[in-house]
Structure 1
Amino acid sequence: MTNDDLQFAHDRPIAMQQHDLLDRAGFAQRLALAISSWKNQESLVISLTGSWGSGKSSIKNMALEQLAAIQGSQVIEFNPWQWAGQDKLSSAFFEEISRVVQRKNPTEADKQLAKVLRRYEHRLNAGAAVLSGTAKWAPILLGSALVTTALGSVAEGTAAQVTIWTVSAVSWLGSLAPWLKQAAEWCTKRSKNLDQEAKDSELTLSQIRAELQKLLSARQKPLLIVLDDLDRLSAEQLKAMFQLVKAHMDFANVVFLLLFQRDTVEQGLQRAGFDGADYLEKIIQVPFSVPAISSGQLEAVLSGKLDAILANEQQLQQRFDKAYWDQMFQRGMRPFFGNLRHVYRYASTLAFHCRLLRGTEVAEVNAVDLFALECLRVFAPETYADMPRHKALLTNNEPFARQDEPQRARINQVINHLVFLAPSTHKPATRQLLQEMFPTLDWVFKNTEYDRQTQLRWLINSRVCCDDVFDRYFELSVPEQDVPNSLLHELARRIVDSGPFTTLLASHEEDRQAEILQRLFGLVDEFPLELSLAVVQTLLQAGDVVGRRMSFTNWSPRQQVVRLLRLFLLRHDDEAARSQLVIEAFAVGPGLVVVEQLLASEYALRRKADFGCLDDAGLEQLKSAYLCNLRELAERDPEAFLANPDFESYLYDLNRYGEGGDEGRRWSERHITSTTRFLQFAQTLVNTRSRYSGDGVTHIDEISLHSLDELLGKECCADWVARLDTGELSADASQILGLVKEALAHPARSETAEWND
């Protein structure tokens, strides 16, 4: 089978012993030998009972295969479920037996037996046929005593009488001519059949039975009549079928093999007016039950099916967690599989859904979670269908939710509801499966919480418990807004090659860059330590090309790069080694953005007496290298430096880390030498403040007086404003100038900005 082939596993019963997976061939062979040895005795009724899907038909097929091999019996398979009415059931039963008896190279004895069987069937069913036909025409014929007399003649049965009386009836009841014409035609046709039956009726029913008994006794091998699917019959059909078997239990060399689910048949007989268990005990002489399936055998078949699926799904294989699978199967999935039919149903649809979610290079889902959810989808479909409605709760991602007693009670209520939707036999397993799939709820069930690193591993392994990947398990595709695993693993592979990595990352929208980088946190442990310098160089370069926009709730892409770098550096135990990696990488390539933020975070940690990522000596060395690069950039091309989006931050860093505490301000004083440069300088200081009200969000642009003073000086700014007031300005320039005036005129107001984006 090629990788693009998809075959569903059927749950039909096996036909040959060579396909036996459960070691039941021996049982079937012994059953066949017992049947073939039943000779010259009254009929034998054997039952083979078992639940739906337990393998009754498979055992029957293997037994028939054995009987054919040893020529131990002539087999008639009769499925009463195909016949709807009680009268049809009886007719079809004997008709099928007589047809099979003379089907292949019949002897004279077989032909005679078939003939007598048909005669026997005609006698048994003749009265029922007449009554059925009479009932059909009764509404038309009730108004005529003459027609009633005609029917009486029919019952006595010659064709001449029927014809005479029918013609008389039609003449006498002319107003009913159309209807009575049809009645006459039926009566004439039926009379011919009855004339033939009259010839057979010269023998009494007892005489026909005696002849049938004699022919059956003379046979050298028994006649095996197999009745399957009895548990599918209605109560009345069950009653008719078992009465049929009971009425003919005294025939020699006849063996009945009845296959059914016992409790279902007992309940059906109960509805038909019998004591089901007692009634079966009187009919069945040799009851057998389907041999139990050992858990080991069934699990071996299931494992074989799953191995075959994984063999065709390389992506799912790559990150298949054997330990997690063992835990999931033993604790949650095992109870769902009671017979082979369960295995086949499950394996068929699982193969299909694996194909949908396998991804291009890596799987887009966790294989174990997919296997577990397929259990719910097949065996507890209502539970599966209702789970998406509770996504936020199951993934522990509800806004403003707290891990308190009310939330604990709410989670228990939802889990109880999902379990309630499962079939009664699967409720305990459903509860266990939900708890295994969603460790996000372990704080409720086990009083256990997990650190951020563990949660990142769940995310990178595409566990269903993660809010970011939950939907794909139910939508059976990767939602367009999701970050596909194939992209993450492609970036992880390119992490040692800065050009391809940054090109691929920069090809995505700014908001998506932040999400992609956050998802990469879970793959940090897979970045190659032996190529650490190349990894750090790539991350430094990425910081210069990704977006810078952040929001209340999300880090900016460049901040995510710094966080990713710190996670990678922490894989090195030695602080000095970490520092040297960054210093060496910064010396050979770009990286001002990342180093600027790394320095800021390291010094902030030290101010709080916390431990940073770098050692003290390495931090000072990195700061010196950063200042050197920053000064070179600022002096080489002042115009470009002034136009840099990070100009404000760089000036602050020159003040903070440079000589005298005002190096950035002194640079501004030297290089802002025209109104154009002043307006460009002021433009870099504009921040947008968001004000929220009942009517919506208002965005307000403003410039901080503190920034003007720190980076150029209030007096110098006021001089430039005075010069600009005398000339004509564009609309944009006028707006910038107005913001500077506002800051200088109302310093208190300009310092009240809350948060700027």
Structure 2
Amino acid sequence: MNHDELRFAHDRPIARQQDDLLDRADFAQRLAWAVSSWQNQESLVISLTGSWGSGKSSIKNMTLEQLTNNQGCQVIEFNPWQWAGQEKLSSAFFEEVSRVVQRHDPTEADKELAKVLRRYERRLNAGVNVLNQTAKWAPILLGSALVTTALGTVAEGTAAQMTIWTLSAVSWLGSIAPWLKQGAEWCLRKSNILEQQAKDNELTLSQIRAQLQQLLSDRQQPLLIVLDDLDRLSTEQLKAMFQLVKAHMDFANVVFLLLFQRDTVEQGLERAGFDGADYLEKIIQVPFSVPAISGSQLEEILFSRLNAILDSEPQLQQRFDKTYWAEMFQRGMRPFFGNLRHVYRYASTLAFHCRLLRGTEVAEINAVDLFALECLRIFAPETYAEMPRHKMLLTGSEPYARQNEAQRNRVIEVIDLLVNLAPMPHKPATRRLLKEMFPTLDWVFTNTHYDQPIQLRWLIDSRVCCEKVFDRYYEMSIPAQELPNSLLHEFSRRITEPENFAALLVTFEDNRQSEILQRLLGLVDEFPLEQSATVVQTLLRAGERVGRRMSHTFFSPRERVLRLLRLFLKRHEQESVRSQLVIQAFNALPSLVVAHDLLAADYALRRRGDIGIFDDLGLEQLKSLYIATVRDVADSDPDAFLADEDVASYLNDLNRYSETDNEGRGWVVRHVTSPTRFLQFARAYTSFQSIPTSNGDTRTAYISHSTLEYMMGLTRVSEWVVQLESIPLSGAGLETLALVKVALERHALDATATQE
């Protein structure tokens, strides 16, 4: 399959033995030999029966190819399904037979046989045609007594009389000329036919049959008449076709090959008033069934089609999980494929949908899930169409849903609903397929629960069981609000490029940054270990530049970076290696904010008795390096340091980690020496709390008076307040000053309450 050209698979029957994939050529050759060797005084009726899509027409085509190559007989193919009316079947049948007999370099005997066949057809169908056409024109022609007389003449006598009366009628009835003109034309044509019939009438039908018998008996090769698609006929057409075959079973050197699905034809004959099975037994002398297709043969063809699709879509190959595919196919998909037509129908539309969702650099879906869903779309379409209504339940993402008995019963009810929408033969496979695609429901059926790393892996692999991915499989596109896999792939590719990674990340809003970093957690195992130093540098740089906004339900991008870094470091078993990687990266690209978070997390783990990321020596080295860097930054540019939104954390760390007691407080005393710097200092220690109200939570800012007292002393703070009250301030300055005043007032109230 060409990468730039979409080609649909088709389910047309093969025409040549060289295209045989199911080892049926030998069967076709033996059938061809049986037909060509038939030389008898009576017809031979052979049936080739099989279910829809089992390959009847392919075997027929290979048989005819063999007969053509060996010149074993003359072949007439007649498809009665192409003829709409029952009354046309007999006429069309003999017309086609006579046409083929004299088609290619006919001998005199062939010409004579064709002539007698046409004569036979006219005699068989003349009465029917007259009655049918008369019934068609009678409502118009009976409007005139003269035309009625003309019809009576036609019924009684010669063609010449009929022509004269017809022309007179048309002339006399000029007021209805348009209709009567058509009637006259029919009568003129019929007069010519009747002239020929008058000659044919010199021979009885039996005499014409005798002529046919003799001509057929003299042939050196049999005539093979192939009747295909009999199971598509209406009840009346089916009855007429089998009656035609039955009526001519005594013709010599004629072989009928009938192709149909047996149960369908038997039911049609029963509707026509026959005992279907018994009636077929009386007509068919040699019944054949299409050889069964082995499961291995069918799978081989299916797999070759799937491999062709994957070869043309390299993006799908990148994350194709062979283990997952094997489980999906063996447990769920295999029963859906019973014949070649199933394979061809499935492969055709699958190729199209793979093209839609292949992405730019990586696939936007999971290929195995797409293969499985396509099974449902083709073979259980009602189940497929119903699934989006239950997206939240199937993906385990319903808000407030608990994994309790009530929810368990609800899941079972929905799965039963989806299964019952599938056709009866596909219900068991549909149930298994749903369970394979949605491990989010394993807690219901096997009491199995999955931790977050596995769920992140599902998300990275774009599994349909993930709520954020599910819609792609139905919308056949990436929703605008979703993260395309190609973007994540680009971040993964830049993980060893610190500046490029950070530059791309900061082009997104904070919530988008957080989502990207969360999704990258599932790709940590793919970050190159051999370039670990560069990867750590990249994450330090990203932590320095990403947003820091967070909420109760939303992790900040900085927190996501920290978790990503910790997960990557844990891929190295030795704590000493982790320590040196971070120290080396920090020396190259200092990131105060990430170092602060790493130290705080490791010391918190140690206080609880847990094992941290670093070894003891490495932790002390990182702490010393971090404090020295904070001190240098703070002293070199106090204004820039105070403007950093994390300055409060750094000052607290100077107090906590420095060998000098209260180094952070000492720095404040030395450098907060102007109203502007005091406002920056106070703003850095501003905190927020949510207060429930009738209209929802209200976010309120405050400054802790105990913090002001510890870091600066309240006496000095009061002096700054007095000084600031005499200076014109902007809106932000006024807000900060107001918070400081409130803090002092709270301190005074607390002091009074303590004294009382």
Counterpart of 2:315 in structure 1 is 315
1:298 aligns with 2:298: yes
- Partner Cα distance (1:194, 1:373) in 2: 64
Counterpart of 1:154 in structure 2 is 154
Counterpart of 2:379 in structure 1 is 379
Secondary structure at the counterpart of residue 701 of structure 2: strand
CA contact (8 A) 2:160 2:191 kept: no
- Partner Cα distance (1:30, 1:630) in 2: 91
Task: Give 1:108 shift.
Answer: 0.4
- Partner Cα distance (2:749, 2:130) in 1: 107
Counterpart of 2:265 in structure 1 is 265
Pairs within 5 Å for 1:694-733: 695=695, 698-733=698-733
- Partner Cα distance (1:179, 1:518) in 2: 81
Structure 1 counterpart of 2:310, which letter? L
1:531 aligns with 2:506: no
Secondary structure at the counterpart of residue 467 of structure 2: coil
**Residues 181 and 505 from structure 1, CA distance in 2 versus in 1: closer, same or farther, beyond 3 angstroms?**
closer
Task: Give 1:428 shift.
Answer: 1.2
Task: Give 1:596 shift.
Answer: 0.6
Relative to structure 2, which stretch is displaced further, 479-488 or 127-136?
Answer: 479-488
Counterpart of 2:546 in structure 1 is 546
Counterpart of 1:512 in structure 2 is 512
**Residues 748 and 293 from structure 1, CA distance in 2 versus in 1: closer, same or farther, beyond 3 angstroms?**
farther
- C-alpha RMSD over aligned residues: 2.4
1:626 aligns with 2:623: no
Counterpart of 2:350 in structure 1 is 350
Task: Give 1:175 shift.
Answer: 8.4
CA contact (8 A) 1:154 1:187 kept: no
- Partner Cα distance (1:490, 1:312) in 2: 22
Counterpart of 2:497 in structure 1 is 497
Counterpart of 1:114 in structure 2 is 114
- Partner Cα distance (1:134, 1:2) in 2: 59
Counterpart of 2:603 in structure 1 is 603
- Partner Cα distance (1:80, 1:606) in 2: 87
**Residues 177 and 572 from structure 1, CA distance in 2 versus in 1: closer, same or farther, beyond 3 angstroms?**
closer
- Partner Cα distance (1:719, 1:64) in 2: 109
Task: Give 1:69 shift.
Answer: 0.8
Pairs within 5 Å for 1:555-594: 555-594=555-594
- Structure 1 residues 79-103: Cα deviation after superposition (integer angstroms, max 9, x where no partner): 1111011111111111000000000
Counterpart of 2:278 in structure 1 is 278
Relative to structure 2, which stretch is displaced further, 680-689 or 96-105?
Answer: 680-689
- Structure 1 residues 691-727: Cα deviation after superposition (integer angstroms, max 9, x where no partner): 5555456443333334433433333222211222233
- Structure 1 residues 197-218: Cα deviation after superposition (integer angstroms, max 9, x where no partner): 1111111111111111111111
**Residues 61 and 693 from structure 1, CA distance in 2 versus in 1: closer, same or farther, beyond 3 angstroms?**
farther
Relative to structure 2, which stretch is displaced further, 70-79 or 595-604?
Answer: 595-604
CA contact (8 A) 1:154 1:191 kept: no
Relative to structure 2, which stretch is displaced further, 223-232 or 669-678?
Answer: 669-678
Counterpart of 2:679 in structure 1 is 679
- Structure 1 residues 598-648: Cα deviation after superposition (integer angstroms, max 9, x where no partner): 111122223333332223343233222222211121111111110111112
Relative to structure 2, which stretch is displaced further, 158-167 or 729-738?
Answer: 158-167
Secondary structure at the counterpart of residue 469 of structure 1: helix
Relative to structure 2, which stretch is displaced further, 622-631 or 96-105?
Answer: 622-631
- Partner Cα distance (2:683, 2:521) in 1: 36
CA contact (8 A) 2:464 2:473 kept: yes
Task: Give 1:111 shift.
Answer: 0.3
- Structure 1 residues 354-382: Cα deviation after superposition (integer angstroms, max 9, x where no partner): 22222222222222122112212222222
Relative to structure 2, which stretch is displaced further, 273-282 or 97-106?
Answer: 273-282
CA contact (8 A) 1:328 1:372 kept: yes
Relative to structure 2, which stretch is displaced further, 420-429 or 650-659?
Answer: 650-659
Secondary structure at the counterpart of residue 468 of structure 1: helix
Structure 2 counterpart of 1:636, which letter? S
Alignment gaps of 5+ in structure 1: 751-757
Alignment gaps of 5+ in structure 2: 751-756
- Partner Cα distance (2:260, 2:694) in 1: 70
Structure 2 counterpart of 1:664, which letter? G
- Partner Cα distance (1:180, 1:618) in 2: 110
- Partner Cα distance (1:312, 1:485) in 2: 19
- Partner Cα distance (1:583, 1:107) in 2: 100
**Residues 311 and 75 from structure 1, CA distance in 2 versus in 1: closer, same or farther, beyond 3 angstroms?**
same
Structure 2 counterpart of 1:355, which letter? R
- Partner Cα distance (2:570, 2:70) in 1: 75
- Partner Cα distance (1:248, 1:458) in 2: 67
**Residues 290 and 175 from structure 1, CA distance in 2 versus in 1: closer, same or farther, beyond 3 angstroms?**
same
- Partner Cα distance (1:143, 1:480) in 2: 72
- Structure 1 residues 208-259: Cα deviation after superposition (integer angstroms, max 9, x where no partner): 1111111111111110000111111111111111111111111011111111
CA contact (8 A) 1:665 1:713 kept: no
Relative to structure 2, which stretch is displaced further, 567-576 or 681-690?
Answer: 681-690
Secondary structure at the counterpart of residue 468 of structure 2: coil
Task: Give 1:531 shift.
Answer: 2.6
Task: Give 1:659 shift.
Answer: 4.7
- Partner Cα distance (1:44, 1:694) in 2: 93
Counterpart of 1:190 in structure 2 is 190
Aligned length: 750
CA contact (8 A) 1:605 1:612 kept: yes
Structure 1 counterpart of 2:443, which letter? W
**Residues 146 and 362 from structure 1, CA distance in 2 versus in 1: closer, same or farther, beyond 3 angstroms?**
closer
Runs of 4+ in 1 over 6 A off after TM superposition: 143-146, 167-178
- Partner Cα distance (2:638, 2:248) in 1: 111
Task: Give 1:661 shift.
Answer: 5.7
- Partner Cα distance (2:661, 2:368) in 1: 58
Counterpart of 2:35 in structure 1 is 35
Secondary structure at the counterpart of residue 257 of structure 2: strand
Counterpart of 1:328 in structure 2 is 328
**Residues 13 and 699 from structure 1, CA distance in 2 versus in 1: closer, same or farther, beyond 3 angstroms?**
same
Secondary structure at the counterpart of residue 77 of structure 1: strand
Task: Give 1:464 shift.
Answer: 1.8
CA contact (8 A) 2:321 2:368 kept: yes
Q: Could you state the TM-score of these two structures normalised by the residue count of structure 2? A: 0.94
CA contact (8 A) 1:634 1:641 kept: yes
Structure 2 counterpart of 1:29, which letter? Q
Q: Could you state the TM-score of these two structures normalised by the residue count of structure 1? A: 0.94
Task: Give 1:166 shift.
Answer: 4.9
**Residues 749 and 507 from structure 1, CA distance in 2 versus in 1: closer, same or farther, beyond 3 angstroms?**
farther
Counterpart of 1:753 in structure 2 is none
**Residues 410 and 189 from structure 1, CA distance in 2 versus in 1: closer, same or farther, beyond 3 angstroms?**
same
- Partner Cα distance (2:182, 2:342) in 1: 54
CA contact (8 A) 2:163 2:191 kept: no
Counterpart of 2:753 in structure 1 is none
Counterpart of 1:458 in structure 2 is 458
Task: Give 1:303 shift.
Answer: 1.2
Secondary structure at the counterpart of residue 46 of structure 1: strand
